[in-house]
Amino acid sequence: MDSRSHDLRDTHYYNLLLMAMAPKDVEKKIESLREKIRHHEYRYYVLDDPEITDAAFDQLMNALKKLEGEHPDLVTPDSPTQRVGGKPREGFVKAPHSSPMLSLDNTYNEEDLRNWERRVHELSGRSDIEYVCELKLDGMSLALHYEDGKLLRGITRGDGSIGEDVTLNVRTVRSIPLAIAKEKLKQAGIPAGFEVRGEMLMPIAAFRRMNEEREQKELSQFANPRNATAGTVRQLEPSVTAERRLDYFGYMLLVNGQTYFDRHSKTLDALEAAGFKVNTRRKLAENFAQVWAFIEEWEEKRESLPYEIDGIVIKVDRTALQQELGYTGKAPRWAIAYKYAARAGITRIEDILVQVGRTGKLTPVAALAPVPIGGTTVSRATLHNLDEIERLGVKIGDWVEVERGGDVIPKVTRVVEDKAHPRGHKSFHMPERCPECGTKVVRTEGEVDYRCVNANCPAKLRETILHFASRHVMNIEGMGDALVNQLTDRGLVKNVADIYRITKADLLQLERMGDKSAQNVLDEIEASKKLPLERVIFGLGIRFVGERTAQFLAEHFGSIDALMDASPEELQQVNEVGPRIAQSIAEFFQEPKNRDLVEQLRKFKLTLTGHKKQRGTKLAGKTFVLTGTLAGYSRDQAKKMIEDAGGRVAGSVSKKTDYVIAGSDAGSKLEKARELGVAVIGEKEMTELLG
Ligand code: IVH
C-alpha cells in the first residue's frame, strides 16, 4: 500500500451529500467509514489478505479525512486518520510497567533444553505437560495498554520495571489496532481494559529499503533490523516512524498485570480474535519430541521468513502450572528460549579489495577464507570505508568475526586475537587510482568516502545498469550480475538507453543464454517501458535521489521535461529537496550527455510523463514548522494543507524557517523560533494564510 495515490474524492458529490446531512447522520457516516477502514487495515496489515484495492482504500480514507476536516469537533484520537499526529516531543517520558517485563533464559543445545524440561517435570511433579512453541522474533518487546477498547499507551521494556512512553510512534504501526469494538473484544473473551505484550520488529524488506534510502542520502546505515527497530521506535518524529513500516506481534495478555486466560494457547487465540497480529507459525506441543521437531523445522526455514528470528520460545501452556513454577530473578521458569547458532563465523582476511559503486564510491571489501555461516559459504564481507577499517583496527591477515543477517551483505564485526588467531601485519591503504579504470581517486574535504570521478569508468557503468534494472527501479528480471557483466564487457550496453537496443541475436551470443531465456529478458525489457515516471527518474542514478525523492519529483513536475528545466530554486520547492539535492539534480541535467540519454529513452517510449499533483502557489517558497497541538487539524492534515498550497514543512526551526505554527503545549521549537526571531503564528493565522 506504499504507493497509494492521494487523489481527492469527488468533492462535488460530497458537498451535496453534506448539505443534506443532519449532524447525527454525519456522525454516523464518520463512524461507519472508520469501521470500514479499520476492517480493511486489519485485512491488509494483520492478515496480509486485502479485500479491496489500494485505490478503493484511499477513497475511503479521503472521504473520512474530508468529513473530519469539515467537522473537526468529531475527530477522535482513535480515528484511523489520527495515526500520525499529536504533540511534538523533546524526549520520552518514563512510564512504569503493570508488572515486571521479564526476559528469558537461553539454551543453545538439545541437552540444555532437556535439562530445562526435566526441571519443569520435577518442580511440578507432572510429566504430561503441554508447551506452546513460538518463533523468537528479533525486535524489541513493547507493552500496549488499552482502556475501554482504545489504545492508551505504548511502553518500551526499559529496565523491565520502568520503560519509556512511545505511544505516538506506536500509533503509527498499522498492524496495531487503535480501537477495538466492544463486540469484538467480548467475542474474544477479553475485557475492555487490558495490556498486550509483544514484539515490535522491522521486516527485512523494509529494513533494506530504509538502508538503501539512507545510502542514497549518504546517511549512516543501521546494522540490522533489530537496531533499526529500536532506533525507529525511539526517534522523536512520529511521521518518520510511520514511513518505516514497523510490524507488531502480540504474545501476552495481561489484565491488572496478571495473565488472564488459563492457557497460553488460549491467550494467543484470543489476541488473534481481537484483531491483533499473532504469529501463525506456532504450535501446541504435547511432548519434547514435538518441541524439538518445531525447533528443527524453523532452523531450516528461518531464511524464508520475511523477518529475522534468533530462536524459538517454549512456554508451558497451563497458567496454573506457570504460577506453580514461578520465576528466578529476571526470567520465568515456565518459559525458555532456544537460540539458534548466531549467523556469524570466524575466518581470516586474505586480502582487502576495493569495489567501485555506481556513484564512483570506493568500498573496501574483505576477501575471506571461505567460511560457512547459516547455511551459505561466505567469502566476502564489506568493510564499508576507511574510517570503519580504522575503527576495527583491521589488517590483512587478521582473523575476524563476520556476521550475516537476513538479506544483508555480510560484514566484519571485530578482530579476533588469541593464541590460535595471531594478528595480521599488512595495513590496507586506499589506492591512489581507481582499480577499474586507473583514474586518480578523490576524497572531498570533510567526506568519509573516496571516489573515482571518471564518468566513463566501467565499474560505474556496470553498477548503473544493475541499479536501473533492479526490482525497485525498472524491475527487469534476469538482468543481474552475470548478464550485465557480459553486456558491458562486450560493449553492447554503454548506457541505460542501450538496454532498449538489445536484440535477440545480441543475447544469443552470450554465455548461458538460450532462446527461451533471451525471449524472457526481452519481454521484461519491453514491460519496463510501462513503469511510471518516478521509476525512470530513480533509475537515472542522480546522486542523492532515492526512491522517495524520485516520487516527490515526479509528483511535483509531472514530466521529465519540466524536471530537466527546473532551476535549483524551483527544485527546492519540492518536498524534502534541500540545496544539496537540488544542486545535484540541476548539475545532472546540465550535462549534455545526460539530456541526450533522456532523449534516447523517449525514443524507446519509456514513460516520461506522469500525474502532476495539483499544488497551489499561495505558500510557494515558504517553509513552515509545526509545533504543539492544533485544535482543528491533525499534524498530518496541516502538513498536507500547507504542501498542497505549495509550502514546505520542515522538522526543525532554523533561520530559513518562515513561520512556526504553534498550537497548545508548544515546546522548545517555539523557544528556538523566538531566539532566532522567526515569525510565530497560530492556527487562525495559518487558516488565513491558506485562504
Ligand atoms: S515471551 C516472560 N515470546 O525475547 C516472557 N518473547 O530474550 C517474556 N521475544 O524480551 C517474553 N519473541 O523481546 C516471548 N514469542 C516470543 C518472543 C519473545 C521474541 C523476545 C522478547 C523478550 C526476549 C527475551
Atom of ligand 1 nearest to the CA of 279: 15
> What are the phi and psi torsion angles at 681 (to 5°)?
-125, 165
For ligand 1, atom 13, name the residue with the nearest CA: 141
Beta pairing class for 309-316 and 623-627? unpaired
Helices (H) and strands (E) in the chain, counts: 26, 25
- pLDDT tens digits, 355-380: 999 889 999 999 999 998 877 889 99
- pLDDT tens digits, 484-543: 999 999 999 999 999 999 999 999 999 989 999 999 999 999 999 999 999 999 999 998
Strand partners, 209: none
CA–centroid distance, 619 to ligand 1, in Å, is 49
Does residue 54 register a pLDDT over 90?
A: no
Largest CA distance in the chain: 85
> Which residues does the annotation mark as catalytic?
136
Pocket test for ligand 1, best of 132, 135, 136 (most atoms within 8 A of CB): 136
Q: How many CB atoms lie within 10 A of CB 383?
A: 23
pLDDT at 216: 78
User: Is 313 touching ligand 1 by the criterion CB < 6 Å?
Assistant: yes
pTM (2 d.p.) = 0.73
Q: How far apart are CA 584 and CA 217, in angstroms?
A: 12
Q: How far apart are CA 295 and CA 300, in angstroms?
A: 9
- pLDDT tens digits, 96-133: 999 999 999 999 999 999 999 999 999 999 999 999 99
CA–centroid distance, 339 to ligand 1, in Å, is 12
Domains of the chain: residue spans and CATH: 7-82 (1.10.287.610), 106-339 (3.30.470.30), 342-445 (2.40.50.140), 458-603 (1.10.150.20), 623-690 (3.40.50.10190)
Contact 147, 209 (CB under 8 A): no
DSSP string, 292-310: HHHHHHHHHHGGGSSS-EE
User: Is 249 touching ligand 1 by the criterion CB < 6 Å?
Assistant: no
Question: Whole-number mean pLDDT of the chain?
Answer: 90
CA–centroid distance, 182 to ligand 1, in Å, is 29
pLDDT at 87: 56
Q: What is the DSSP letter of 45?
A: I
Q: Angle between the 288-301 and 110-124 helix axes, to the nearest 10 degrees?
A: 150
Q: What is the DSSP letter of 81?
A: G
CA–centroid distance, 224 to ligand 1, in Å, is 18
User: Is 46 touching ligand 1 by the criterion CB < 6 Å?
Assistant: no
Contact 280, 101 (CB under 8 A): no
Q: Kindly state the cell numbers that stand for 683.
A: 492556527
Does residue 346 register a pLDDT over 60?
A: yes
Q: How far apart are CA 316 and CA 325, in angstroms?
A: 9
